[in-house]
Amino acid sequence: DQQVKQNSPSLSVQEGRISILNCDYTNSMFDYFLWYKKYPAEGPTFLISISSIKDKNEDGRFTVFLNKSAKHLSLHIVPSQPGDSAVYFCAASFAGGTSYGKLTFGQGTILTVHP
């Protein structure tokens, strides 16, 4: 039961253009959503998060959009840079019961930004 899905295994964009990474979820109890970036041979690093009470959160070149009715979130990177080339994971959590905010991860999307 894949509760968090990233349906695009890979994405290729040109430097300077917008990168849009998508993520869908099925569990309506999720109330916090995060994006992580992972370089080869390193652990994932936190990028940006959004609470379910918001529909948008920005941090510099990174913006996350949340559409609760569609159970969909997306990460926009503008402008894209070659250093953004990495695997991007979306993740979700909820705080109820014994969840303690444990993260459920999607499969990841490999982003390649060409110079």
Site residues (vs other proteins, CB under 8 A)? 4, 6, 9, 32, 34, 36, 41-46, 49, 51, 89, 91, 93, 95, 98, 100-108
Return the number of the residue (74 or 104) whose C-beta is nearest other proteins: 104
Could you tell me the smallest distance in angstroms from the CB atom of residue 108 to other proteins?
A: 6
**How much is the CA Rg of the chain, to the nearest whole Å?**
14
Could you tell me the smallest distance in angstroms from the CB atom of residue 87 to other proteins?
A: 10
Return the number of the residue (85 or 93) whose C-beta is nearest other proteins: 93
Q: Are 30 and 93 in contact (CB under 8 A)?
A: yes
Could you tell me the smallest distance in angstroms from the CB atom of residue 45 to other proteins?
A: 7
**Cis amide bond preceding 40, omega within 30:** no
Residues 91 and 47: their CA atoms lie apart, in Å, by 11
Residue 89's nearest CA partner among 4, 19, 13 is: 4
Return the number of the residue (16 or 101) whose C-beta is nearest other proteins: 101
